[in-house]
């Protein structure tokens, strides 16, 4: 049910849509379980980098692999995002949103890039990958794992926040209409965050990915 707005929230300059959905009174295991569940259903993410003279730049990319709280992308070394990462490796984000449920994930982290001889390239490469690289016909730039343009971008998470819907589409509508009618604030899901200490612990228990 919608929760009433209080004068204390206004006077303290609190955003009630955040405060009333804040849900960190759950175990770390539960927080990461739900985070993995949302991210793993959404294979396409926006990878954000910081570009000199421009600011934040985002592009849609397929996740090659998630291990624990970290994400791996297979990318063309000739793309400008590698220049961005070289200059600002700790200003990288990964975001997801499920348009059906409105679940979303936001990850801030450090980017680490690999050389072409990283064995994980063969692990995550598929025939479909070559469609985004092309085959020059020179026996080198083939769009296959040995192609020197193939490199990995590993995002090592440092801060994670996400929102998980706790009502279906009908419940969402009822909550919003109820809030409008009563003057309350809609509460439709759980908003959570994980900071660096929790993430390090999850990495040690859940991750098999090595840089």
Kindly give the interhelix angle for 28-41 and 196-206, rounded to the nearest 10 degrees.
70
Give pLDDT, residue 23: 84
- In angstroms, the CA 141 to CA 137 distance is 7
- Which pLDDT tens digit goes with each residue over 154-173? 999 999 999 998 765 665 55
Give pLDDT, residue 2: 63
Residue 209 confidence (pLDDT) above 80: no
Please check whether residue 89 is in contact with residue 110, taking contact to mean a CB–CB distance below 8 angstroms. Answer: yes
Residue 100, number of CB atoms within 10 A of its CB: 9
| DSSP annotation string for 101-134 | T--EEEEEEEEEE--TT-THHHHH--GGGGGGT-
Give pLDDT, residue 189: 76
Q: Which pLDDT band, with edges at 50, 70 and 90, does 130 fall under?
A: very high
Q: Which residue has the higher pLDDT, 45 or 101?
A: 45
Mapped onto helix, strand or coil, the DSSP state of residue 55 is strand
Q: What is the mean pLDDT of the chain?
A: 87
DSSP state of 185: E
Give pLDDT, residue 210: 42
Residue 144 confidence (pLDDT) above 70: yes
Q: Which domains does the chain have, with CATH numbers?
A: 25-166+193-206 (2.30.110.10)
């Amino acid at each position: 049910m919608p929760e009433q707005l209080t004068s204390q929230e206004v006077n303290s300059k609190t955003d009630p849509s955040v405060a009333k959905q804040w849900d960190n009174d759950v175990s770390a295991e539960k927080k990461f379980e739900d985070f993995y569940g949302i991210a793993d259903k959404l294979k396409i993410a926006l990878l954000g980098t910081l570009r000199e003279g421009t600011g934040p730049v985002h592009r849609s990319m397929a996740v090659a692999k998630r291990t624990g709280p970290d994400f791996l992308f297979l990318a063309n070394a000739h793309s400008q995002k590698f220049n961005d990462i070289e200059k600002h490796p700790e200003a990288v984000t990964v975001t997801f949103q499920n348009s059906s449920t409105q679940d979303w994930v936001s990850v801030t982290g450090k980017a680490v890039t690999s050389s072409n001889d990283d064995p994980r390239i063969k692990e995550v490469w598929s025939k479909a990958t070559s469609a985004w690289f092309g085959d020059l016909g020179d026996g080198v730039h083939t769009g296959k794992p040995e192609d020197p343009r193939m490199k990995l971008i590993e995002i090592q998470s440092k801060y994670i926040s996400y929102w998980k819907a706790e009502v279906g589409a009908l419940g969402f509508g009822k909550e919003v209409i109820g809030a409008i009618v009563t003057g309350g604030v809609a509460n439709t899901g759980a908003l959570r965050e994980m900071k660096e200490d929790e993430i390090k612990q999850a990495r040690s228990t859940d991750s098999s990915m090595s840089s």
